[in-house]
Amino acid sequence: MLNENYSSDSPVTDPQFDRFNRYQFSKRVAQVISKRDDPSSIVIGLYGAWGNGKTSVLNFIEGQLDNEDKVVCMKFNPWRFGTEDEMLIYFFHELSKTIERTIISKKEKLGGAIEKFAKPIAAIAGKSGVIDGVQLFFSQADVQDLRKRIEEILQEEKKRIVILIDDIDRLDKNEIHTLFRLVKLTADFNYTAYILAFDKDVVSSALSEKFGGSPTKLGSSFIEKIIQVPLSLPILDGEDLRSFYVNEIMKVLLLSNIELSDVDLRNFMLEFTGGLEGQLRTPRQVKMYSNTLMFVLPILQEEVNTVDLMLLEGIKVLLPELYSLIYENPSLFLENTKYGMDFEQSEKENRKKQLEDVLESISNEKKEKLKGLLFFLFPKLSSLYKNNSFSTGSEVKWSENKRVCSPNYFKRYFTYAISATDISDIAIGNLIARAENQSVDEVIEDMQTIMTEKNASKLVSKLRALSTSFTSQQSKILAIAMAQIGGSLPNPIEFLRMFNSYSQAAAFTGDCIENLEDREERKKLAAEIIKQASSLTFALESYRWFRRDTDERPNPNGFNDYEYSEVEKVLANRIKWEMGNNETIDTVELEWFPSFLTIWKKYEEAEEIKITMDKKIQRNPAFLFDLLSSYTATVSSDYGTEKSSFKKENYESIERVLDVDEIASEIKKIYSEFQEDDLYPECIGTSRQEMLARQFLWFYKKADG
């Protein structure tokens, strides 16, 4: 069934399938041959580019001549043989069979006679070379007698043998030369005609190489000495070719179950006819293009923009050098070219030259139309020629539409697969659709099935991009599901941590809340996210993304101050519970301890906080120094990130939420031998714990004194 979906590249034999008016041309050629009274041989050259229908024309000619009593056709395929002498021997065997089968009466069998004289060719060729052997073979007196007898019989029978030779341009240069010598030596048989079909440019070039790399015109001269009637295939009618490729494309879309919208279909036809139709010259190119589409469209269906994919595949088939340039130089096509400074102007010229070099062989008119196609596929490429730029909104739109100009989708168009760091749009769509009717646990299972460590960030970013299309039910289920798995996402402590998958997952929960129209429903969902978040840290991170209505960025779908404080109370209650019941605190949670304590202090009596923290310190004295360290800044260096010294602002922050007398007392119990420092202790060479202890006591002494 799969093969039936692909467009066959086989030549046609039945005139009813002639889409390009080749049959009428073929019929006229056949009529000229069949009505020819002159007994002398004739050699007709049928010239046409690769894929332009030469074989179909030969089929039509043969079909017409088969209806003529005076004509016998013999097809000879020279490319089927491994050596030149095999090709020559086969030619004479085929000639023998054709004569015996169709011409000679029962009283006389010439086939055996020809075979008798054909056998010595290999032996002669082995001694003196193939071509010389053939020439020597034809110079023998008894062979001349045989030739004369054949001509007499053909005359008596009023028959003419037409030898059809195709695919000459598939041969190597030595085989091409051998074939033409063979034709030259045998073409003066009376009552014979040759029709040789080939691409003249290819064969001329091969013959020139055979002559030692001489100019192509010498190869043409060699051909002209043999070909008596040169015929070029009629130029394809543009409308016929257009009708052909349109039908092929529509057939591919139908078989692939793809239905383009009117806008998409119009965009495709405008860009294809404008940019690529001028590069389309032969039916075989159309077949290659339709078969390519038949392969790639089902693979990438719903994973890329169909119009972009179809146009890009057209470039691959018709302009492979340009396709390679796009694939190998994504920055040239995906990034704006800056203007202003000299080096930027120089960079622009270098980029433009890369493109112009590939398009050099294309006429100016076609080149401008092709650039229009490229600007459609890659809008930022136009900055090479115009002083323009594109907004973030445009880039978001390209990504939403899965355009090839989006860095999020570019590679997918060339790999025909979803990379390990990417995630299938179909999988995302199914996840969202199922969230309408599934439980939170079922959605979590779906998420964990498609999510890996490598593609987690892409999963979150795609969900965020699609969140505005969620229903209320999808928003609720997906938000709570993300809250329950969000704490397991990578959360490195870094300057731009708000862009990592952990922080973006928390932002996604805020997106889902914003989707709900009812204000009470928003508060309920926010409370559930905080309660069900897999960790206290993720609950805090989500809460920080809930605030969408500010003076700087008013948003009627965001929480007002009162609503935000109501949600904050829920978080404060969770912090209280975690502090009182959770014995272990991981490194990430320690990083956010100051935020936890600040929020907790807003809704809890200081004495309650003091009692809870004292218990933690009593159970684990090392926690005291983790607490002090959590208030210090994280700084980056060439060696990574590290914590800074304890500063005055750190002391003041702790003083606002905790009992500094109790902390100082606990430190003195651990470091009873400490002497008071008169100057701020830099503590170079000491442990971090001792440094934090001495620096805290120094600020404590200054505040007390």
DSSP conformation letters of 264-297: HHHHHHHHIIIIIGGG---HHHHHHHHHHHHHHH
What is d(CA 184, CA 585) in angstroms, rounded to the nearest whole number?
94
| pLDDT reading at 143 higher than 70 | no
What is d(CA 402, CA 303) in angstroms, rounded to the nearest whole number?
7
Q: Where is pLDDT greater, at 132 or 39?
A: 39
In this structure, are residues 507 and 464 in contact, taking their beta carbons and an 8 Å threshold? yes
Helix (H) or strand (E) holding 232: strand 229-232
What is d(CA 59, CA 12) in angstroms, rounded to the nearest whole number?
7
Q: Count of H helices and E strands in the chain?
A: 36, 7
Strand partners, 195: 44, 164
Q: Which of 191-205, 233-247, 488-502, 528-542 has the least mean pLDDT? A: 488-502
DSSP state of 195: E
Mean pLDDT, rounded, of the chain: 83
What's the confidence (pLDDT) of residue 13? 66
Q: Supply the Cα-derived Rg of the chain in whole angstroms.
A: 41
What's the confidence (pLDDT) of residue 578? 87
In this structure, are residues 89 and 122 in contact, taking their beta carbons and an 8 Å threshold? yes
| pLDDT reading at 463 higher than 60 | yes
Q: Tell me the percentage of the chain whose pLDDT exceeds 70.
A: 84
At 375, list the tokens. Answer: 């600007």
At 599, list the tokens. Answer: 């929020």
In this structure, are residues 178 and 88 in contact, taking their beta carbons and an 8 Å threshold? yes
50: helix, strand or coil: coil
700: helix, strand or coil: helix
In this structure, are residues 1 and 226 in contact, taking their beta carbons and an 8 Å threshold? no
Contacts with 192 (C-beta within 8 Å, 6 or more apart), sequence order: 41, 160, 161, 162, 163, 186
pLDDT digits (tens, 9 = 90+) for 666-682: 999 888 888 888 889 98
pLDDT digits (tens, 9 = 90+) for 168-184: 888 888 888 888 887 88
What is d(CA 394, CA 405) in angstroms, rounded to the nearest whole number?
11
User: At residue 298, what is the residue type?
Assistant: P
As a whole number, mean pLDDT of residues 636-664 equals: 86
Q: Where is pLDDT greater, at 571 or 337?
A: 571
Position 357 confidence tier, pLDDT thresholds 50, 70, 90 = very high
Strand partners, 193: 42, 162
What's the confidence (pLDDT) of residue 126? 46
What is d(CA 222, CA 235) in angstroms, rounded to the nearest whole number?
25
**Is residue 105 packed enough to be buried (19+ CB in 10 Å), middle (13-18) or exposed (0-12)?**
exposed
User: At residue 438, what is the residue type?
Assistant: Q
pLDDT digits (tens, 9 = 90+) for 540-567: 999 999 987 777 777 777 888 889 999 9
Position 639 confidence tier, pLDDT thresholds 50, 70, 90 = low
| pLDDT reading at 130 higher than 50 | no
pLDDT digits (tens, 9 = 90+) for 493-523: 554 455 688 889 999 999 999 999 999 999 9
Q: By C-alpha distance, which of 674, 685, 684, 503 is closest to 696? A: 674
- Give the number of other Cβ atoms within 10 Å of residue 635's Cβ: 10
What's the confidence (pLDDT) of residue 321? 94
Helix (H) or strand (E) holding 81: none
Position 131 confidence tier, pLDDT thresholds 50, 70, 90 = very low
What is d(CA 463, CA 321) in angstroms, rounded to the nearest whole number?
37
- Give the number of other Cβ atoms within 10 Å of residue 415's Cβ: 12
Position 444 confidence tier, pLDDT thresholds 50, 70, 90 = very high
Helix runs in 129-187, H state only? 130-139, 141-157, 173-186
Q: Where is pLDDT greater, at 29 or 388?
A: 29
What is d(CA 588, CA 488) in angstroms, rounded to the nearest whole number?
12
As a whole number, mean pLDDT of residues 232-239 equals: 77
Torsion sign, CA atoms 516, 517, 519, 520: negative
Which of 328-347 are b and which e, b meaning 16 or more Cβ less than 10 Å from the residue's Cβ? eeeebbbeebeeeeeeeeee
Q: By C-alpha distance, which of 668, 663, 635 is closest to 651? A: 663
What's the confidence (pLDDT) of residue 146? 61
User: At residue 476, what is the residue type?
Assistant: K
What's the confidence (pLDDT) of residue 124? 46
